[in-house]
């Protein structure tokens, strides 16, 4: 089973786990969408629910994280604890105390000329 190619926020078929405080971290470039907060918590029972709460709380994030079809943008990575969420088979599993969600944006650019050292 492959990781979700677009944001799948359908509810879990099993009994609902209890919500916990999930720590969320966002990069400086996105803090204008999160009231200048780089680290905060969302209350959710599953990872899918945490994404729903994140986007409901900070709706300006959606356009930066997902395209018009709801697919995760290629230059954005989500990490659940230290695991790339693209490698997770699903997002509807229960969260545990101490879990973290990190948003990472790829940044390109820099020097226009490469200096060769001999």
pLDDT in tens, 61-106: 999 999 999 999 999 999 999 999 999 999 999 999 999 999 999 8
Name the pLDDT band for 1 (thresholds 50, 70, 90): very low
> Which residue in 56, 50, 52, 19 sits closest to 34, CA to CA?
56
pLDDT in tens, 20-44: 999 999 999 999 999 999 999 999 9
Task: Please answer whether residues 47 and 92 qualify as being in contact, where contact means their C-beta atoms are separated by less than 8 angstroms.
Answer: yes
Q: In this predicted model, which residue has the larger pLDDT, 71 or 13?
A: 71
The DSSP annotation for 36-58 comes to: T-SEEEEEESBHHHHHHHHHHHS
Instruction: For the domain made up of 20-105, give the CATH fold.
Output: Ubiquitin-like (UB roll) (3.10.20)
In whole angstroms, give the CA distance from residue 86 to residue 98: 21
| Domain residue extents for the chain | 20-105
For the record, the structure tokens of 39 come out as 């680290």
């Amino acid at each position: 089973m492959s990781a979700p190619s677009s944001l799948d926020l359908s509810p879990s078929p099993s009994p609902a786990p209890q919500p916990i405080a999930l720590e969320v971290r966002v990069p400086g470039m996105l803090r204008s969408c999160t009231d200048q907060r780089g680290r905060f918590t969302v209350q959710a029972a599953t990872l899918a629910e945490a994404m729903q709460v994140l986007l409901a709380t900070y709706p300006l994030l959606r356009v930066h994280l997902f395209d018009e079809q709801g697919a995760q943008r290629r230059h954005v990575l989500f990490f659940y604890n230290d695991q790339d969420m693209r490698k997770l088979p699903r997002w509807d599993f229960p969260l545990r105390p101490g879990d973290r969600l990190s948003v990472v944006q790829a940044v390109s650019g820099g020097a226009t000329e490469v200096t060769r050292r001999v």
